[in-house]
C-alpha cells in the first residue's frame, strides 16, 4: 500500500485544509497519508473523522517535532501518536507560546532593520501556529523580498540577521515523549542535517525509523539511507513534505512515498 507519510496543512505552514489534502490524495490513488504538521495536532481530529468516512483510506496521526541537539535543530516525525493525550496537548500549547514569542522577536529584529512589519497582521491569519514561513510570506506581500526563499536566504535562516533559535525539548526527550504517546519516532529528512554523524547519534538516542525517501534527497542519498536503515534494523519511511505550493508547476504530494505491507511494523498499527 502506497503512503505519503510527510505532509503539512494550514494548521502549521501548509496551505491546504486536511480535507482538501485527503481529497487530493484520493485522486492520486494513495492508500493513505500522514498529516505531520510542525509542533501541532490541531488538524488531526477533523482529518481522521473525514478519512474514516472514506473506505480503504488510512489517515495516520502524525506530528513533526522540532527538537534541539547540540547546536542543531533536528526534526522528528511521530507516527500513531495518541493525539488526545493531555501531556501532548499541554506540550504543543507550550510550543505555540514559544513560537509566538520567537516570531515577535524576529519581527522586532526586522523592524530594527527598517523592514516595517506589523506582528498583528501575521498573527490574525495564523491562529494555530506561527512559523518563519508566515513571516517570509508577509515580507513578500510587503515587497521587501522577491519570494519566500529570498526572505530565508537574506534574513530568516540560521546566521542571518533576523534569525532566532527555537527553544524546546532535546532530541532525546522528544524521542521519549513520542514513545510515551504510543508513537513511533522517525528521524525526518536526514539529508538536511548539517552533520552526517547525527544519524548515528539519533539511532543511539532511540529513533525507530529513518525518513529515507524525501523530496529534498538525491537518488544516491535515498539509496544510502535505505541501506543504512536495513543494516541498523530501522523502519524505512518516506514522504513528500508537501506544503501545498507548486514546485515547477507540480504538487509534491504523492511524489515521494513508501509502501506499508503486511509484516511491516507500521502495518500492525494501521
Ligand atoms: P520554523 O519552524 O518557524 O523554523 O520554520 C521553518 C519552515 O520554513 C520549514 O518547515 C520550511 O517549511 C520552511 N523553510 C525552511 N528553510 C527554508 C528556506 N531556505 N526556504 C524556504 N522555506 C524554508
Ligand atoms: Mn514547513
Ligand atoms: Mn522538517
Ligand atoms: Mn515537514
Give me ligand 1 centre to Cα 49, in Å: 29
Q: Is 10 in the pocket of ligand 1 (CB under 6 A)?
A: no
- Could you give the CA distance from residue 164 to residue 90 in angstroms, rounded to a whole number? 23
What cell was used for 12? 502549521
Which atom of ligand 1 is least distant from the CA of 153? Answer: 19
Q: In this predicted structure, what is the pLDDT of residue 248?
A: 87
pLDDT at 127: 85
| pLDDT tens per residue, range 122-176 | 999 888 999 999 999 999 999 999 999 999 999 999 999 999 999 999 999 999 9
The reply to whether ligand 1 has any atom less than 6 angstroms from the CB of 39 is: no
pTM here is: 0.98
Answer for the pair 35, 43: CB distance below 8 angstroms, yes or no. yes
Residues of the chain where predicted confidence (pLDDT) is lower than 50: none
pLDDT per residue as tens digits for the range 76-91: 999 999 999 999 999 9
Query: Would you state the pLDDT for residue 247?
Result: 86
d(CA 76, CA 186): 6
Which ligand has the minimum distance to the alpha carbon of residue 192? 3
Specify burial of residue 2 (Cβ count, 10 A radius: 0-12, 13-18, 19+). middle
What ligand 1 atom has the least distance to the C-alpha of 66?
Answer: 2
Amino acid at each position: 500500500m502506497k503512503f505519503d507519510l510527510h505532509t503539512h496543512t494550514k494548521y502549521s505552514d501548509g496551505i491546504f485544509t486536511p480535507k482538501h489534502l485527503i481529497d487530493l490524495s484520493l485522486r492520486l490513488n494513495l492508500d493513505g497519508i500522514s498529516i505531520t504538521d510542525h509542533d501541532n495536532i490541531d488538524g488531526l481530529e477533523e482529518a481522521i473523522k473525514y478519512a474514516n468516512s472514506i473506505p480503504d483510506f488510512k489517515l495516520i496521526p502524525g506530528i513533526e517535532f522540532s527538537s534541539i541537539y547540540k547546536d542543531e535543530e533536528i526534526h522528528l516525525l511521530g507516527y500513531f501518536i495518541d493525539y488526545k493525550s493531555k501531556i501532548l496537548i499541554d506540550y504543543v500549547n507550550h510550543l505555540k507560546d514559544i513560537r509566538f514569542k520567537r516570531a515577535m522577536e524576529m519581527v522586532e529584529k526586522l523592524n530594527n532593520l527598517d523592514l516595517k512589519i506589523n506582528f498583528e497582521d501575521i498573527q490574525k491569519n495564523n491562529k494555530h501556529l506561527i512559523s518563519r514561513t508566515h513571516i517570509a510570506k508577509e515580507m513578500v506581500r510587503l515587497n521587501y523580498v522577491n519570494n519566500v526563499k529570498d526572505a530565508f536566504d537574506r534574513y530568516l535562516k540560521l546566521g542571518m540577521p533576523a534569525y532566532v533559535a527555537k527553544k524546546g525539548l532535546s532530541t532525546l526527550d522528544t524521542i521519549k515523549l513520542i514513545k510515551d504517546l504510543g508513537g513511533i519516532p522517525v528521524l525526518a529528512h536526514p539529508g538536511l542535517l548539517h552533520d552526517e554523524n547525527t544519524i548515528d547519534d539519533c539511532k543511539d538516542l532511540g529513533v525507530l525509523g529513518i525518513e529515507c525517501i524525501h523530496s529534498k534527497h538525491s537518488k544516491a542519498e535515498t539509496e544510502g539511507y535505505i541501506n543504512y536503515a536495513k543494516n541498523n534494523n530501522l523502519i524505512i519511511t518516506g514522504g513528500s513534505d508537501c506544503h501545498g505550493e507548486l514546485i515547477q508547476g507540480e504538487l509534491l504530494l504523492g511524489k515521494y512515498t513508501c509502501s506499508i505491507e503486511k509484516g511491516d511494523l507500521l502495518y500492525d498499527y494501521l
